[in-house]
Amino acid sequence: MTSKIDSIIEDFELLDDWDDRYRYLIELGRALPPFPEAERTDATKVQGCASQVWLVSETAAGTDGPRLGFLGDSDAHIVRGLIAILLALYSDRPAREIVATDPAAVFARIGLKDHLSPQRSNGLRSMVERIRADASRALASAAS
């Protein structure tokens, strides 16, 4: 795991109350870099989310194969926080690692699994699937 995600996990572990954890999640979302208006398209929209969610990936060559960086945004504050966690976990990593990384352990450690509505859990799963699919496409392109 990267230091960004480790730092987020440590911060969550310091907060006992879920109201405080939700506030922290919203703060993480507010700290996301601005999302380009031109990228708010049907092609970048994540299907399966109750809120509107957009994810964009950029692929760069690396010594360990293609590396991906991600930008994301949502119209919902808590979902923006979830995007921030996913970007901390997956962005700027080799595609092979992205495909192999299962976020379930991170979400369980933070306690998100037990504190998200079924709709948000489904949306989170859709975002992870999109990120991993982008990484799989980058690997396939690099192999051809």
Query: How many residues in the chain?
Result: 144
**What does each C-alpha distance from 47 to 23, 62, 91 come to in angstroms?**
26, 29, 20
**What does each C-alpha distance from 102 to 18, 26, 88, 132 come to in angstroms?**
24, 23, 14, 10
pLDDT band per the 50, 70, 90 thresholds, residue 38? very high
pLDDT band per the 50, 70, 90 thresholds, residue 1? very low
Would you state the CATH architecture of domain 3-143? Alpha-Beta Complex (3.90)
Q: What number is the average pLDDT over the span 47-70?
A: 92
* pTM score, whole prediction: 0.93
What was the pLDDT predicted at 104? 86
| pLDDT of 113 higher than 80 | no
Could you say which of 25, 28, 46, 49 is catalytic? 49
pLDDT band per the 50, 70, 90 thresholds, residue 64? confident
User: What percentage of the chain has pLDDT greater than the value 70?
Assistant: 99
Q: What number is the average pLDDT over the span 32-44?
A: 95
Across the chain, mean pLDDT equals 92
What would the DSSP string read from start to end of 6-25?
Answer: HHHHHHHHH--SHHHHHHHH
Instruction: Specify whether the CB–CB gap between 72 and 32 falls below 8 A.
Output: yes
Pairwise pLDDT comparison (2 vs 89), residue with the higher score: 89
Q: Is 49 a catalytic residue?
A: yes
Q: What number is the average pLDDT over the span 10-32?
A: 94
What was the pLDDT predicted at 45? 96
